[in-house]
Amino acid sequence: MPVYDTREPEGRASFAARLARLRATAGAAEPAYVRAAEAGLAAVRDGGDAAVVELERRWTDPGFRAEDLLIPEQELADAADHLDPRLRDALRRSIDNVRTYQEHIRPEDRPPVRVGDAELGLRWTPVGSVGCLVPGASATLFSTVVMLAVPAEVAGVPLERIAVVHPRPYRREGRPAQDVSEAFKAACGLLGLTRVYRCGGAQAVAALAYGTETIRPVEMIAGPGHPVVQLAKARVAGVCGTDGGFYGPSEVVVVADASADPVRVAADLLAQAEHDPGKCFLVCWDGGVIAAVLAEIQRQLPSLPRADAIRRALAAESCVVRVGDLAAACAVADELATEHLTLAVEDPAAAAARIRHAGEVFLGDATPVAAGDYHAGPSHCLPTGTTARFTSGVSVYTFMKRTGTVAYPGGMSERTIDDVAALADAEGLAAHAASARARR
């Protein structure tokens, strides 16, 4: 990992360039990504199942057929029954934890408030149907099914109206095509999902938004994925709802002080780097801590199966940011506005109070990001590319709508009528004013 000392002009310039690159991932600066997203959307909008099949053949399985799109419900149930019992139990506990947390934060209707002669209220209602984007062409991220479907279900979306799309693994030269993993099928089976489809990329987004012969359109699309997928999701907003976030390549910022355990900090950085591409940032003001963490990375790295991907991520996508003190570290963390923020410092709660922008905050070096990825409760579908500055991760809120209510139980008062009419007249909307005066 390169080390940029922001106390020096050269280090500040290098960090600024890395920050700009990070923001560009969400800004979709790659023209090829834009073209791929738009081509996939147009093909499926016009061609339906046939276009989805053609794109799946290109990317995953040369023998893909329209009949392969829908995974039979019995196949999902069988996978759940035959899953390794230890993994099945861990998956069930993960589901329970996510459900408990989402139920805890689920918003409730508030009693109306009296404002003048009006009673004003707010209702929360779920969207009618949801499409969940589950990445999987380069890794089997079956945990994402839990992190999307459970918040939607807790919001009140019926299970039969929750669709899941998940692609087969990418084609590998000289290797036979592979199916989606049994763990993914089992996760869907344990959740009781029935609309589960083998497809990914922009074609999956298009199928959920526009509908095809096999895949019914949904009212809301949510989930992470490749920048092409995120671009496609943004472009169908309005055709259907979207989660409003850019949930792209995974990231972590670790702010560490002398109290941090270098073994744990290095392990957390390596865990994000293996996403290929993962983006990792160590922010620290102690040269001894930086040296110890870098040494630990070198010690742990050779034993990891995805070591080559990790090396690429650490060299090209990551850096150490050396700052002057904790205050400067928190300012850098806010600039990075990252998906995951670990505060491996002596008083993590006090440090967290200084932070404004992060998808999810992990307090103390005893709390690995992996716990949030799989087990703790909040969804791991989080904003990337510095977009935590203005958006949030997926939760039960993602799948709910707010609707205001207005009532005049005793009728509108003369003063209210006059106020409404005066404001409408001032805007030149005489019929609006007349509609208020008709209430006299």
Which residues are documented as binding site? 250, 272, 275, 340, 373, 427, 432
**48-242: which CATH topology?**
Rossmann fold (3.40.50)
**pLDDT for residue 137 is more than 70:** no
Cα–Cα distance, 392 to 271 (Å, whole number): 22
**pLDDT for residue 19 is more than 80:** yes
Angle, vertex CA 141, rays to CA 135 and CA 146, nearest 5: 100
Angle, vertex CA 298, rays to CA 296 and CA 299, nearest 5: 60
pLDDT score, position 35? 92
Is 340 one of the catalytic residues? Answer: yes
Specify the CATH number of the domain 3-27+248-389.
3.40.50.1980
Cα–Cα distance, 100 to 11 (Å, whole number): 45
Which residues are documented as binding site for substrate? 250, 272, 275, 340, 373, 427, 432
Phi, psi torsion values for 359, nearest 5 degrees:
-70, -45
Which CA distances in Å does 320 have to 25, 26, 290, 336, 365?
19, 22, 8, 13, 17
Digit-coded pLDDT (tens) for 84-109: 999 999 999 999 999 999 999 999 99
Q: Which amino acid is at 346?
A: E
Question: Are the CB atoms for 98 and 379 separated by under 8 Å?
Answer: yes
Across 141-169, average pLDDT = 96
Q: Which amino acid is at 12?
A: R
pLDDT score, position 136? 82
Q: Which one is catalytic: 340, 346, 380, 414?
A: 340
Which residues are documented as binding site for Zn(2+)? 272, 275, 373, 432
Helices 182-191 and 143-155 cross at an angle (nearest 10°) of 20
Q: Which one is catalytic: 153, 296, 335, 339?
A: 339
CA 326 from chain centre, in angstroms, equals 28
Indicate where the chain has its CATH 3.40.50.1980 domain(s).
Answer: 3-27+248-389, 48-242
As a whole number, the mean pLDDT across the chain is 94
Across 80-85, average pLDDT = 97
Cα–Cα distance, 85 to 60 (Å, whole number): 30
pLDDT score, position 91? 97
Rg of the chain, C-alpha, whole Å: 25
Across 244-262, average pLDDT = 94
Question: Are the CB atoms for 135 and 225 separated by under 8 Å?
Answer: yes
**Which pair of structure tokens corresponds to residue 22?**
């990070």
pLDDT band at 175; cut points 50, 70, 90: confident
pLDDT score, position 138? 63
Residue 433: which residues within 8 A CB-CB, separation 6 or more?
A: 420, 421, 422, 424, 425
Q: Which of 151, 190, 186, 192 is nearest to 166 (CA)?
A: 186
Is 119 one of the catalytic residues? Answer: no
Digit-coded pLDDT (tens) for 274-306: 987 789 999 999 999 999 999 999 999 999 999
pLDDT score, position 260? 97
Digit-coded pLDDT (tens) for 23-71: 888 766 678 899 999 999 999 999 999 999 999 999 999 999 999 999 9
How much of the chain exceeds pLDDT 90, in percent?
Answer: 89
